[in-house]
Chain A
Amino acid sequence: MNLAVFAVRRVARLVLSLIAVSIIAFGLLQLAPGSFADISNLAAEESSTVTAEMQQRYGDEVPVWQQYLGFMKGALTWDMGPSYKYTGQNVEDIIATSFPVSATLAVVAVIIALCIAIPVGVFSALRQNTPWDYGSMFAVTIWHSLPPYLVGTFLMLLLSGTWHVLPSRGWSGPENMIMPVIALALGPAAVMTRYVRSSVLETLREEYVTAAFAKGGARRLVIRRYVLRNSLIPLVTVAGPVLANLMTGTVFIEWIFGIPGLGQYFTDAAASRDMPLLMGTTLFFAVILMVTNLVVDLLYGFLDPRIRATAGAR
């Protein structure tokens, strides 16, 4: 199989999956009870007749499959029309303005997580079974067990509520990122630290590391050139999904810290049955996930000469 065929197949699978995702999402939405209606501020609710009016407007006059095709056409042309709920805003504009926020949070969180995971993981592995190792692994496992929304809540109470050093919410500058990023990064940092540690330990046992020492390599050099290179390349496969998950899963953090990311819109759209926005965000997330997975595969292939070579041969 040559590279072109491989690429075409891969893309074809991608497209098929996207179609499947869109159909499933659309189907689930059709099955789900409730339909879109104006969910104005219920506290300020004025009259029940408004919602009846809405029912009339967004009734079921159009066949389901036509709605689906219409939406897909819009999605393909990046023109998904206005959101039901956020009237006056087009779905693609909502995505275009809010996704970069979620993505930034996710990317920074992953970078921070890597900055924690690599040194701590390597350090623990190199000092396996010392108090350092036990201590850091203990700490890491505890982080791992704290859901981000709890970390976020406690951080806010502590840093904003008690110490008054950071703004509790909003998105006006880097200071707004500190708490959300910490809350988001801890879990992935823990996962990746554990991964790095075991990966380094495994690599340390490899014969080529012994061989490198046998050639008279200085420890630091051997660690860097032989151990780190071979144990960190697989980290890409972990960091990729983590990143993709974060990009789609920042919703709690966005919610707690009042950050205008896409996750908030999605949740809101799901609860209020804002079909265009919900379908738009779902499909967009699907594409993001696929692209991330693809990039991870390519990056892994690029970093690991074995895969690079076999891919080239295909």
Chain B
Amino acid sequence: MTADVLLDVQELQVQFRTERGMVRAVDGLSYSVARGEAVAVVGESGSGKSVGARSLLGLLPKTASITGGQAIFDGNDLVGMPERAMRAIRGRRIGMVFQNAMEAMSPTITLERQLTEHLIWHGVCSKAEARERAIRALGEVGIPEPERRIRMYPFQLSGGMRQRAMIAMATAIEPDLLIADEPTTAVDVTVQRQILELLKAQKERGTGIIMITHDLGVARFFCDTAVVMYAGQVVERGPMAEFIECPAHPYARGLLGSTIDVGDRHRKLSVIPGSPVDVANRPSGCPFRTRCALADADRCTHAQSLESVSPGRVAACWRSHDHV
């Protein structure tokens, strides 16, 4: 761990209370983010990638609770942090960008208020100054006529513009860490590229970024580190380039093989059979074993721990060395 590490998550566990009993949505999530580093948490539906990130800020519903692990941010553990201390971190030190700005901004409050209020809450600046900063931030994310637009309500902006405004909302306060939860899923490819460029600028300023995405293209384009999750567990973690080059875990390999690029016309798709596993019905041992071509009845029914496959890379499969 270097001095630059902003956040260090270790063995995080999150449970949900459901009608069918307790469900472990996140079961052992570990990664760290350094200043200026972008970590991609990649996975499919129900893999726990978003729950894991939101739990850091205590933004889960009441039915959820963190049952284990720690998340050291700036020397303090976010897990079990008192509400007051947590509030000082939320929005100020750790910002968050949501998937859909339409849903993540109140329809009845003007942009101005939504962009400035937390500056005032955190005592960053005065109201007038906050307004200046918000206008500037809007300009920076490429919204024309920010002075006029700031008086509008979110629904009066186009989708792309709303998404930018939300990024302005999270970044105007210059947080140390940014959690971006599928920030481009709801927008078109051309807009996606622009949004990512905006986030890149933040990264270059030294902000650490946790990017939650199901899109490997986005992850690869933007992030330095890949954390691949499956059924609430991390199956592989390591530098992005090496991960793309030769994924170690069979699931990660399958995922990469399923991803279609332009120019893949003649590449044969590698298909993972079966359906993604639901965390509520996770099989014992390796969660992927029911879909894994390499599954071995003896080895895979035991829990797989993350083991180093190469420097800086870990994977949760006993055969992962075979592929590196």
Contacts and interface: CB of A to CB of B under 8 A. Distances in A.
Contact of A309 (B89, B96, B156): B156
B269 interface: no
Contacts of B155: 305-306, 309
Contacts of A128: 62
A211 B92 CA distance: 13
A216 B108 contact: no
Interface string B110-148: 000000011001100000000000000000000000000
B87 A211 contact: no
Interface stretch (B97-105, B202-210, B237-245, B301-309): B97-105
B88 interface: yes
Nearest to A216: B91
B153 A306 contact: yes
Interface residues of B, number: 32
B91 A306 contact: no
Contacts of B57: 213-214
A36 interface: no
Contacts of A210: 54, 59, 98, 104
Nearest to A233: B108
B169 A215 contact: yes
Contacts of B59: 210, 213-214
A230 interface: yes
Contacts of B108: 229-230, 233, 303-306
Interface stretch (A115-123, A150-158, A217-225, A281-289): A217-225
B149 interface: no
Given A216-B88, A218-B87, A305 B118 contact: no
B220 interface: no
A222 to B, nearest CB: 10
Contacts of B122: 216
Interface string B150-193: 00010110000000000001000000000000000000000000
Interface in A297-311: 303-306, 309
Contacts of A219: 83
Contact of A306 (B87, B96, B107): B107
Nearest to A212: B106
A305 B108 CA distance: 6
A216 B92 contact: yes
B90 interface: yes
**Most B Cβ at <10 Å: residue of A205, A215, A305, A309:** A215
A212 B57 CA distance: 12
A216 B107 contact: no
B109 interface: yes
A268 interface: no
A6 interface: no
A226 interface: yes
A206 interface: yes
Contact of A211 (B58, B98, B107): B98
B216 to A, nearest CB: 25
Interface residues of A, number: 26
A19 B145 CA distance: 51
Nearest to B60: A210
A215 B91 contact: yes
B104 to A, nearest CB: 4
B106 A226 contact: yes
B90 A309 contact: no
B124 to A, nearest CB: 10
B230 to A, nearest CB: 25
Contacts of B83: 219
Contacts of B87: 216-218
Contact of B109 (A226, A303, A309): A226
Interface in A226-254: 226, 229-230, 233
Given A211-B98, A225-B109, A230-B106, A305 B153 contact: yes
A207 interface: yes
Given A211-B96, A214-B57, A229 B117 contact: no
A305 to B, nearest CB: 5
Contacts of B89: 216
Nearest 3 interchain pairs by C-beta:
A216-B91, A215-B91, A215-B118
23 contacts: A207-B104, A208-B104, A210-B59, A210-B104, A212-B106, A213-B58, A213-B59, A214-B59, A214-B90, A214-B96, A215-B117, A216-B88, A216-B89, A216-B122, A217-B91, A218-B121, A225-B109, A229-B106, A305-B107, A305-B155, A306-B108, A306-B155, A309-B155
Given A210-B54, A214-B57, A217-B87, 17 more contacts: A208-B103, A208-B107, A210-B104, A211-B96, A211-B105, A213-B59, A214-B90, A215-B95, A215-B169, A217-B91, A217-B117, A225-B117, A226-B109, A229-B106, A233-B108, A306-B153, A306-B155
Interface of B: 54, 57-59, 61-62, 83, 87-92, 95-96, 98, 100, 103-109, 117-118, 121-122, 153, 155-156, 169
